C-alpha cells in the first residue's frame, strides 16, 4: 500500500489544488507512482470540475474518475448543502474504500479536502472526520493574506485536536500587496511547529512543474 497525505487549507480558494498537483509532480520526479484524489468537488464550470481535471493531469497512473472523485456537485457551496440539494448524503465509508483502491496502485496518494478543515461534509461529519477516516498526515496550505496568522494557527490546533499529524505547511502568496509578508511567514515558522515545505510566489501564470520546484518534500519521505 502506498502512503498518503491530506491537503487542507486556511480557507477555500487559497491554492489547495495548486499545491496538491505540485506535490504529485515533485514525488513523480522521484520516480514514484502518484495519484491525486478529490473526494468531494463542489462547483462545476461548463460541466467540468477544474480541480479534478488538474489532479487527473498531475497523476501518472491509470485510475477511474470515480475513484479520484466519488462525489461531484454543480453548486459552488458547502459539500453538505450541495449534497442535500440533489437528495444525497456523502458517505465517508465509500470515500475510504476508493482511497484504499488508489493506495493499492500508487506509491503516493494526495487527497485534497474541500474548503477549510472543518467544513461540513454531511449532517454529522466534517473535513476533520474525513481526514481521521483516511488516517492521513495533514499538509496545510496557508493563503498569505491579512488574517492568515489566526486562520493558520486555528487550523493547526484543529488538526492536532483531531489526533492527526501536521506533516508540513506551504505559504502560498495569494496577495501581492500583503504587508510584512516575510515577518508573517517567520511568525508561522515559529508558532506552527511544523516543517515549512515551501513558499510559493504570486504568479497567476506559473506552470505547475515550476511550482513543484519551490517545494521541499524531503521531510515528507519519512512517512
Of residues 38, 48, 105, 205, which has the active-site annotation? 38
pLDDT tens, N- to C-terminus, the chain (223 residues):
889 999 999 999 999 999 999 999 999 999 999 999 999 999 999 889 999 999 999 999 999 999 999 999 999 999 999 999 999 999 999 999 999 999 999 999 999 999 999 999 999 999 999 999 999 999 999 999 999 999 999 999 999 999 999 999 999 999 999 999 999 999 999 999 999 999 999 998 889 999 999 999 999 988 8
Predicted TM-score (pTM) above 0.85: yes
Least Cα distance to 54 among 17, 89, 25 occurs for 17
**Residue 38 annotated as catalytic:** yes
Domains of the chain: 3-222 (3.40.50.300)
Amino acid at each position: 500500500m502506498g502512503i498518503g497525505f491530506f491537503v487542507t487549507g486556511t480557507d477555500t480558494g487559497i491554492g489547495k489544488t495548486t499545491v496538491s498537483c505540485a506535490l504529485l509532480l515533485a514525488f513523480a520526479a522521484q520516480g514514484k507512482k502518484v495519484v491525486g484524489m478529490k473526494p468531494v468537488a463542489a462547483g462545476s464550470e461548463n460541466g467540468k470540475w477544474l480541480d479534478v481535471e488538474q489532479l487527473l493531469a498531475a497523476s501518472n497512473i491509470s485510475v477511474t474518475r470515480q475513484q479520484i472523485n466519488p462525489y461531484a456537485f454543480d453548486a459552488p457551496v458547502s459539500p453538505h448543502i450541495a449534497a442535500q440539494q440533489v437528495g444525497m448524503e456523502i458517505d465517508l465509508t465509500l470515500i475510504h474504500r476508493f482511497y484504499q483502491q488508489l493506495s493499492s496502485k500508487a506509491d503516493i496518494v494526495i487527497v485534497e479536502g474541500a474548503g477549510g478543515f472543518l467544513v461540513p461534509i454531511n449532517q454529522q461529519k466534517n473535513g476533520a472526520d474525513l481526514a481521521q477516516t483516511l488516517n492521513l498526515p495533514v499538509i496545510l496550505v496557508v493563503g498569505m493574506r491579512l488574517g492568515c496568522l489566526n486562520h493558520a494557527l486555528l487550523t493547526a490546533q484543529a488538526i492536532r485536536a483531531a489526533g492527526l499529524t501536521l506533516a508540513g505547511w506551504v505559504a502560498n502568496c495569494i496577495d501581492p500587496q500583503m504587508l510584512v509578508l516575510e515577518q508573517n511567514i517567520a511568525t508561522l515558522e515559529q508558532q506552527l511547529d511544523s516543517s515549512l515545505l515551501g513558499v510559493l510566489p504570486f504568479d497567476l501564470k506559473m506552470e505547475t512543474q515550476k511550482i513543484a520546484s519551490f517545494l521541499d518534500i524531503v521531510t515528507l519521505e519519512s512517512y
